[in-house]
A and B are shown apart, each in its own frame.
Chain A
Amino acid sequence: MASTSSNRLSTSSTRPGRKIWSTTALFIGALVFLFPFYYMIIGSLQKKPDTSLKGAFPTGGLTLHNYAEINSRVDLVRSLLNSGIFTGGVLLGTVVFGVLAGYALARLHFRGRGTLFAVMLLVQIVPFQLLIIPIYVMIVRTYGLADSYAGMIVPFLINSTAVFVFRQFFLALPDDLFSAAQLDGAGELRILWSVALPLVRPALLTVVLLTFIGPWNEFLWPFLVTKDQSLQPLAVTLANYISNIAGRASNPFGAILAGAVVLAAPAVALFVVFQKRFTASEISSGVKG
């Protein structure tokens, strides 16, 4: 898909040298974008912070001391486990209910389909943060779900973007497939499970990747609902460490950066491995290929 269009702009430029310039400029930009990540890792490995330019390219003396330090200040394993449970719960809800809703919106004619689709689009423009007060009132004050995984997960249980992606993929499947299955006497649930779902496996991966970074990186909501440290995801534990404890530590930045590396690594690793899935055209074009 992308390869057919990759030469588009070069057709309008007459001199081949220009391409080298733009690639070079993109490279420099890319290094600027990546530098903070590199510096995060280097900083996390230095026992004493060296903030001079030379310190960014150390020749030795790197140590894992800061990782031990942050682990002694906050329970890393516990926080990672909490992040995992929070993210896993959101993923499970999003995939199960998202597939059902996406399939219904794409393939089934039922009363209220148009309304549901309109509301789904509307949800995208009213951002979650603006609803924090009423949702906080509901979850924490009315239902008493503070300091629980349920309280963390519920507001993110189904991701509207994921429903939309599933709908687009199901919509792209050929009609004949469904009429054939219906002629064979298969029920809707069976058609969904054994005909449609295997064909939209790429959508499952896309949705899992898109949904993963939400709860894994989320700070504000788990920060509001969890006061109990043993339930906080890593993003919250690390943020609390940054704002409260860091001042008293011997090399606060080293420990903070070590925590940052641990928090960033899973999302970055997943993204790098599956980066092809992160193209918007892939999402919008469905399963054409």
Chain B
Amino acid sequence: MSPASRRVLGRQPLGILFAAPYAIFLAAIFAYPLGLAVWISFHDYFFAAPGATVPRPFVGFENYATVLKDPDVRQSFLHVAEFLVINVPLTVVLALVLATALNSVTRFKTFLRVSYYVPYVTASVALVAVWLFLFSKGGMVNQILGPLAPSPSWLVNSALAMPIIALFVTWKQLGFFILLYLAALQNVSKDLYESASVDGAGRVKSFMNVTVPGVRSATTLVVILATITGANLFTEPYLLTNGGGPDGASTSPVFVMYQKGIEQGNPDTASAIGVILVICVLAISLVNRKILERD
């Protein structure tokens, strides 16, 4: 190989060949669609027969204006906010406490770990089926509560539908976040715990002063990933509350994207929702990093 081509292609140009399928995949399934979403959101775009050339005039921010004025869209974003307010703190606290406890047990370790991870590896559709059974009007939860059962019942109650969805997702995803914290706990120095105990710190104190700061970067990751999960919400409102009910009390942005873009044939406004959602996720991630990585 000549020095010139080595300079252009690198020392081992075969790497380009090895990485090419993946690079093409990223371009075709990530970069191009992302660009296409932005492009569609600025044009009057509708579905046409394959191959047909139709005019798709540039409309500026018109789709965005339509979307931002739409009460259904605003509501769906508020629902995700409600979801995150319940889901994120619950996830962070439960995952960290459970990971700490799991890290310290010596007996029945496998059984305990499997119990907490297993919802994570199971299909949402299958788990939704049990929750429907548990939380339906005549379901077990209401049978146990008796006269205390809410009316209307959980999943058809507009005040309770979203919290149940948030609870479901917390339960389903917790195993993954426990996993992340368990990995992070391996990197917290043992000396810190020892010096804390020499200083007379009890279990709670050393948890607050050693563990919590020690896994801070993992917490940033957990919050960001939980936010992304919230932004992705679709299957649960679609199936648990029978299409975002009652009266649209549990719709999510992706669900509205599906309705507007695919059911009603308006991919342009749906894309605008998608772009706004990506911007929100990025903003939350940045703010979260700033706050958690301070000092």
Chain A: residues with CB nearer than 8 A to chain B?
1-2, 5-14, 18-19, 22-23, 25-27, 29-31, 33-34, 36-37, 39-40, 43, 49, 51-53, 55-56, 97-98, 100-101, 103-105, 107-113, 116, 119-120, 123, 125-138, 141-144, 154-155, 157-158, 160, 163, 188-189, 213, 216-217, 219-220, 224, 235, 238-239, 242-243, 253, 256-257, 259-261, 263-264, 267-268, 270-272, 275, 278-281, 284
Contact = CB atoms under 8 A, between A and B. Distances in A.
Interface stretch (B68-76, B80-88, B135-143, B151-159): B135-143
B66 interface: no
A163 B29 contact: no
B231 interface: yes
Given A30-B112, A219-B124, A144 B50 contact: yes
| 8 nearest CB pairs, A to B | A108-B15, A110-B15, A30-B115, A101-B22, A280-B183, A9-B104, A217-B123, A104-B18
B183 A284 contact: yes
B239 A18 contact: no
B138 A219 contact: no
A186 to B, nearest CB: 13
B98 to A, nearest CB: 7
A242 B19 contact: no
A8 B104 contact: yes
Given A238-B129, A239-B239, A257-B133, A127 B232 contact: yes
Q: Identify the interface centre among B32, B123, B190, B201: most chain A CB within 10 Å of its CB.
A: B123
B182 interface: yes
Q: Which of B104, B110, B235 has the most CB of A within 10 A?
A: B104
B287 interface: no
B34 A131 contact: yes
A98 to B, nearest CB: 7
B1 interface: no
Interface of B: 8-16, 18-19, 21-23, 25-26, 29-34, 36-37, 40, 47-48, 50, 98, 100-119, 121-134, 136, 138-140, 143-144, 171, 179-180, 182-183, 185-186, 190, 193-194, 196-197, 201-203, 206, 224, 228, 231-232, 234-235, 238-239, 242-243, 254, 257-258, 261-262, 267, 270-271, 274, 277-278, 281-282, 285
30 contacts: A6-B103, A6-B109, A8-B104, A8-B185, A12-B194, A29-B115, A34-B115, A36-B119, A36-B127, A37-B118, A40-B126, A49-B133, A51-B143, A56-B140, A112-B19, A116-B19, A125-B281, A130-B278, A134-B32, A134-B36, A134-B271, A188-B18, A239-B238, A242-B125, A256-B132, A256-B133, A257-B129, A260-B125, A260-B126, A260-B129
Contacts of A136: 261-262, 267
A220 B254 CA distance: 10
Contacts of B171: 33
B143 A53 contact: yes
A25 to B, nearest CB: 7
B278 A6 contact: no
Contacts of A268: 118, 121-122
B243 to A, nearest CB: 7
A107 B12 CA distance: 9
Given A104-B19, A267-B122, A278 B179 contact: yes
A143 to B, nearest CB: 8
Nearest to B184: A280
A128 B33 CA distance: 10
A26 B125 contact: no
Contacts of B197: 11-12, 14
Given A6-B105, A110-B15, A253-B129, 13 more contacts: A7-B104, A12-B194, A25-B101, A33-B119, A104-B19, A134-B32, A158-B22, A219-B125, A242-B129, A243-B239, A271-B114, A280-B179, A280-B182
